[in-house]
Amino acid sequence: MKMDNPPRKPFVARGSGVLRCEGCRLPQEVCICEWRYRVPAACQFWLLTHRYELYKPTNTGRLILDSIEGTRIFEWSRTEPSDELMAALNDERYAPCLVFPAGDDYQERMVHQVGGEGRIPVYIILDGTWRQARRMFRHSRYLQHLPVIEPQTDRLSRYQLRRSTIDQHLCTAEVAVALLEQVGNQAAADHLEGYFERFNRSYIATRRRWAKRGSE
């Protein structure tokens, strides 16, 4: 007899006890909702988000949702993708592709642009740590038919809340900025980058205050 899986325990991230704004989710003392609004773009972003990322206050995928019209978030599952995600992938209005670095074993899937024939370009960003993203890319069989695009950019990460050992590993919001620049949506790219930088600075400022209080 097959047993139902037990309910998942909520993931408690560091800083979960801080009083946060319901809009931008930053600590209330550095709320950035004044600059939180969406602008149109010629493409869409779908964030396939690892369940742990959904609870992290340092997650930058939400910044894309708050800044770019048409952005959608789906929780990733290795074997049981949501009906909503599968319906979106099969919707003929869209031309979805995965955003991931090029690799020799899937070179035939690599493309330089998406869309055309009236279809809306969609960039699916695997939203998690680099290790999680690699697992999501390799083990999601329902994504294996999709083309893959690599952001063409020389920018180095300016994300200061979670550091990668490799500067070229951009955070989720920075990936979206690079793609918007790549397709010529500079106004949307500038808006998202400005919101990201404000988020980064505000969060760092609160961490410094907490550290100072802790040392007093």
State the CATH number of the domain containing residue 187. 3.40.1280
Tell me whether residue 98 is in a domain: yes
Higher pLDDT, 191 or 10: 191
- What pLDDT score was predicted for residue 162? 45
The whole-chain average pLDDT of the chain stands at 84
Tell me whether residue 23 is in a domain: no
- What whole-number distance in Å separates Cα of residue 146 and Cα of residue 108? 11
How many structural domains are present in the chain? 1
Question: What pTM, to 2 d.p., does this model score?
Answer: 0.83
Tell me whether residue 173 is in a domain: yes
- What pLDDT score was predicted for residue 16? 53
Tell me whether residue 215 is in a domain: no
- What pLDDT score was predicted for residue 5? 41
13 contacts 56 by C-beta, under 8 angstroms: yes
Residue-wise pLDDT tens digits, 126-164: 999 889 999 999 999 999 999 999 988 876 555 444 444
Tell me whether residue 71 is in a domain: yes
Domain that holds residue 64: 33-150+164-202
Higher pLDDT, 8 or 51: 51
Tell me whether residue 145 is in a domain: yes
Buried b (16+ CB within 10 A) or exposed e, 181-193: bbbebeebbebbb
What percentage of the chain carries pLDDT values higher than 90? 61
Tell me whether residue 19 is in a domain: no
CA dihedral 182, 72, 164, 200 (to 10 degrees): 90
Tell me whether residue 185 is in a domain: yes
